[in-house]
Structure 1
Amino acid sequence: MKIQEEKIIFEEGYSFKSFTPSLNECFFWHSHPEIELVYIETPKGRGIRHVGKHISDFTESDLILIGPNVPHLNFDYGIKTDYNQIVVQIKDSFVNEGLVNVPEFDRIKVLLESSFLGFSFKGETKKEVGRMLKELKSDRKLGSLLDLIKILQILANSKEVEELNTEDTRAKLFSYNKVRMDTIYEYIHENYHKRLTIDEVAHLVHLSTTAFCRYFKKQTNLTFTNFINKYRINMAKAFLLQDFAVGDVCYKVGFESISYFCTLFKKLVGESPTNFKNRFLHK
């Protein structure tokens, strides 16, 4: 019932590894002592960004830096469309040993030492680093390490960055948790299109309704109702990108009123379902 600890094995002579995992059918709520940089592209879908206590969604692509021992969900969880994911994991000794007493690396050290907050990168930074990660060849040893340092330098100098958490959320601070977030996620994912009640989910994880509401708000910074609405709107995005009609999507994701669905969609996404659909399908 605790956060899963991922055991990462590095090849001898390497301080980092780069690979392309595919775990979209698996809920992997986990942590590890290594620093992780993730780039994911999902042109016709959307994904969940859950790092520490931060929960949000992304569409098209995402670039995330996660510090050591920060619990996070695999970014391809639940994606039903084609996607490409690149994960770079860096030994925790990289900062304290590899960058020590090298003044040129000061900005990188600051970036990595504060990465326990979780960073999301946008705009040109995301595009450039995404391209570089695709070309990163871990078998080049010194050459690949230098390429990685260039990537970290770009991230360290970038202003196109968002801090995902405002407090330390490393795994040791989550050790008291007795409720499995994967149970909650799985239940919501399987039943979001139905009329859900807090009582049902609270009973599922053996909490009173009041205790569950406190727990859920503390873990996600959202009420259960707000979370469900955001989840349904995220699913609606995926259906719209598959060219379903707006009215059909409304009912597929569990709303009973098209007008309410359109109003909520515009509030959360910033544009109407029709505009969202036309903009992405046209592009």
Structure 2
Amino acid sequence: MKPLLFKIAKTEEEAVRILQEDYPYFYDNLHYHVETQIMVILEGKGTYFIGDAIGNFSAGDIFILGSNLPHFFRSDKDYYNEGSGLRSKNISILFSLETMGEKILDLPEFHAVKKLLHYSKKGLMVHGKTQQKLFKAAKKITRKDGMARLIYLLKQLDLISKSQEITALSHINFEPSTRPHDTKKVNAIINYIMENFAKDISLSDAANVANLSVNAFCRYFKQHTRKTFSQFLNEIRIGNACKQLIEEGYSVKEVAFDSGYYNISYFNRQFKLITGYTPSEYLKAHTNKHNMAS
């Protein structure tokens, strides 16, 4: 994976950096940084790419992104429309416990936290009561500074490290690279797919964006995303279909066409392959889950 190395602006006095962001859309270039990041979505929705995982995010979701883990959060298309009035807001907590001293994570009291930070290199999503507690804690930590902020963060990490309500997203580890040419090309390809997935785009279309032959493009794309072009495109399309089934109430046929599928049988096969459900089963499962949470 060769995303952009993203350097977090900070002062020497800060062990924990807090970013409160409020923009029309989230930063959508594939990137990574040395710091571990706890990202709390306050407002907005869209598609995430974390390691090799693709999925949907919305307000209330919480992610823990480990050191040097490639990721981006791309807002839905409506957020890019000028004058939409839509906002994308998040609180990000960025830190690197390793910078506090080589031995701190080797202390017995930090054993569970050390394990959590290693696990976070696959990208984690927080659920349930832990998610609810962490959401409130993220707002509280913005009002703290200095030692109080650091101690409060350690308490939250201890809470998360003991929780069973976290899910790893990526299946593999990545070795980061900082080659700017690769960064620019990968992001151009991803942006093209995200903007055109509902159309009948082909391998040759994507290869032209990268200025590569089809064979060279296939090797290049698999090397940088760990997915084939077809896998990536189908996961983006099915993610869009899931959102439309739940949020828009469209029929299966409407969802399929709007996600770039013109063959319903093929759409149903891909939906089952990626989600583990048929479209109707998925909608029923989501409805039941929503009713139980209400």
Which TM bucket (shorter chain)? Answer: 0.7 to 0.9
Give the conservation status (yes or no) of the 8 Å contact 1:46–1:59.
Answer: yes
2:255 alignment partner, one of 243, 249, 253: 249
Give the conservation status (yes or no) of the 8 Å contact 2:26–2:88.
Answer: no
Measured in 1, the distance between the counterparts of 2:268 and 2:87 equals 27
1:57 alignment partner, one of 55, 58, 64: 55
- Matched to 2:66, the amino acid is G
Structure 1 partner of 2:48: 48
Structure 2 partner of 1:195: 200
Measured in 2, the distance between the counterparts of 1:83 and 1:232 equals 22
Q: How far apart are 1:149 and its partner, in Å?
A: 0.6
Structure 2 partner of 1:178: 182
Q: How far apart are 1:197 and its partner, in Å?
A: 0.8
1:211 alignment partner, one of 210, 216, 227: 216
Give the conservation status (yes or no) of the 8 Å contact 1:116–1:170.
Answer: no
- Matched to 1:5, the amino acid is L
- Matched to 1:66, the amino acid is L
SS at match of 1:9: coil
**Gap change, CA 1:167 and 1:176, over 3 Å in 2:** farther
Measured in 1, the distance between the counterparts of 2:19 and 2:243 equals 26
Aligned-residue CA RMSD in angstroms?
A: 3.4
Deviation digits for residues 89-141 of structure 1 (CA, Å, limit 9, x no counterpart) = 11464453583564322322333355434333344433332332233234343
Q: How far apart are 1:206 and its partner, in Å?
A: 2.0
Measured in 1, the distance between the counterparts of 2:240 and 2:151 equals 40
* 1:29-178 superposed matches below 5 A: 29-40=30-41, 45-51=45-51, 54-60=52-58, 61-73=60-72, 75-78=73-76, 80=79, 84-91=89-96, 93-94=98-99, 96=101, 99=104, 102-113=107-118, 115-165=120-170, 167-172=172-177, 175=179, 178=182
Q: How far apart are 1:205 and its partner, in Å?
A: 0.5
* TM-score, length-scaled by structure 1: 0.79
- Matched to 2:163, the amino acid is S
Structure 1 partner of 2:283: 276
Larger displacement relative to structure 2 (179-188 or 118-127): 118-127
- Matched to 1:21, the amino acid is E
SS at match of 2:238: helix
* TM-score, length-scaled by structure 2: 0.77
Measured in 1, the distance between the counterparts of 2:90 and 2:100 equals 25
Larger displacement relative to structure 2 (115-124 or 33-42): 115-124
Aligned-residue sequence identity (percent) comes to 25
Q: How far apart are 1:27 and its partner, in Å?
A: 2.3
Measured in 1, the distance between the counterparts of 2:169 and 2:19 equals 24
**Gap change, CA 1:113 and 1:264, over 3 Å in 2:** closer
Give the conservation status (yes or no) of the 8 Å contact 2:98–2:105.
Answer: no
Residue segments in structure 1 that go unaligned for 5+ positions in a row? none
Residue segments in structure 2 that go unaligned for 5+ positions in a row? 80-85
Give the conservation status (yes or no) of the 8 Å contact 2:4–2:180.
Answer: no
**Gap change, CA 1:11 and 1:30, over 3 Å in 2:** same
Measured in 1, the distance between the counterparts of 2:290 and 2:112 equals 40
Give the conservation status (yes or no) of the 8 Å contact 2:50–2:69.
Answer: no
Give the conservation status (yes or no) of the 8 Å contact 1:48–1:57.
Answer: yes
Structure 1 partner of 2:28: 27
Measured in 2, the distance between the counterparts of 1:15 and 1:90 equals 6
Measured in 2, the distance between the counterparts of 1:251 and 1:151 equals 44
Structure 1 partner of 2:82: none
Larger displacement relative to structure 2 (228-237 or 94-103): 94-103
Give the conservation status (yes or no) of the 8 Å contact 2:245–2:255.
Answer: yes
Measured in 2, the distance between the counterparts of 1:59 and 1:30 equals 18
